Amino acid sequence: AMDDEREALEAIYGADFEVDVDPRDGRPMWRMLLAEHGATLLLRLPAGYPDAGPPTPSLEFEQWPTGGDAFARRMAEELPALWVPGEGCAIQWAEHVREAAADGHLGAAGASAGAGEPGAAGEAPGSGVGAGDDSVGGPSCVPLPGGAAEALGPSL
């Protein structure tokens, strides 16, 4: 099932789809470029995917957008809820991110969507969780598994 899904992703996304391996644990990772939003959806696949569990999603941005933290938190909640055991979810998840971003929940137009959430409105590029010091020039990454950031606490 995973091979069939990978082949479908290659056919749909072409050069905007990459297969990689996580150097930390050797798990497969899939990257889907969502160029119109300056974002990449990264999925770390668990052993036994798609039967054993959903991928772990994260978002990378060419430049950290206003509202990026709030958007990443929202996707962290919504994407895993879309997973159905035994069925591939990568295409559906990429389309969900694409549609949510297009609906004005990301970027300057999306700043008001995060109003009232701590740190959402007015956050500076690169200031988000996991953004590091690469706000100028490099991609930023925010891991999306629920509760992980709180469990780990501040990082270096």
Number of folded domains that form the chain: 1
Higher pLDDT, 126 or 13: 13
Separation of alpha carbons 144 and 59, rounded Å = 8
Report yes or no on 55 lying in a domain.
yes
6-59 residue pLDDT tens: 999 999 999 999 999 999 999 999 999 999 989 999 999 999 999 999 999 999
Long-range contacts of the stretch 121-126 (C-beta < 8 A, 24+): 121/66, 121/67, 122/66, 123/66, 123/67, 123/68, 123/69, 124/64, 125/63, 125/64, 125/65, 125/66, 125/68, 126/64
The CATH number for 22's domain is 3.10.110.10
Tokens of 23: 């150097």
Q: How confident is the model at residue 128 (pLDDT cuts 50, 70, 90)?
A: very low
Report yes or no on 144 lying in a domain.
no
pLDDT at 5 over 60: yes
